Amino acid sequence: MKGNKGSLYDDLKRRILTMELDPDEDLDEVSLSERYGLSRTPVREIFRRLEGEGYVDIRTNRGARVIPMNHSTLRHFFLVAPMIYAAIGRLAAQNFKPAQLSDLKDTQERFRAASVSGDALSMVLENNRFHEIIGEMSGNAYLQPSLGRLLIDHARIGHTFFRPRNDDMRQRLQMAVEHHDGFISAIGAQEEDTVVDLVFEHWELSRENMEMFIAPPGMKADALVGAS
């Protein structure tokens, strides 16, 4: 596939968020250059841009890799995520612009449509964009980079949330859609406390699903049962 710098940048972000590229996976500069019809210099520029945004780690003499997830990063994620989301939500209610609220509504409709059709890829990307917009509404140069980094791991840890396997998970997904509607309404009315309450409800829903991904139920020892 031939492309350009923009498509390589967008594709790498999408593939990292959706776990098509695994955490810690090496990024092959040569093959990407060939695939996108680019010289190696612009590919390196994209790697540096993605490193600045938290998607990629560049190691001296070892090249670029997808940003890892390990025990330390997961612990830090669960510790600070609700605090960052709550601060962002409160500032968004104070500072949003009408055009941003319109963008948030449009993104929510795409997310809703994807949830109805079962399009997991679109759900991941539109959900990520929904929360990015709330970050932009906050207008805070200190918190926005932290939010961006959180959203990368939030998408990666919680990606199974958008592939519900049973009725309980489907109900949880519907609840997430309703939470988004609540965010739009509360931000539009500048109801800061309601936004913060919704942040913690939404976080609890996400946390439970992420814990299910990290610690899935045990497998039945079918081979042993059959041999007895």
Predicted confidence (pLDDT) at residue 70 exceeds the cutoff of 80: yes
With respect to residue 166, please indicate whether it lies within any of the assigned structural domains: yes
Nearest partner of 195 among 208, 207, 181, judged by Cα = 181
Same domain, 82 and 177: yes
Same domain, 207 and 175: yes
The stretches of the chain forming alpha helices (DSSP H) are: 5-17, 29-36, 40-53, 71-95, 98-117, 120-138, 143-157, 167-188, 192-214, 222-227
Report the distance separating Cα 134 and Cα 79, nearest Å: 20
Same domain, 87 and 50: no
Tell me the pLDDT tens digit for each residue of 97-114.
999 999 999 999 999 999
Tell me the pLDDT tens digit for each residue of 27-67.
999 999 999 999 989 999 999 999 999 999 999 888 999 99
Same domain, 38 and 113: no
Which CATH number is 52's domain given? 1.10.10.10
Domain that holds residue 57: 5-66
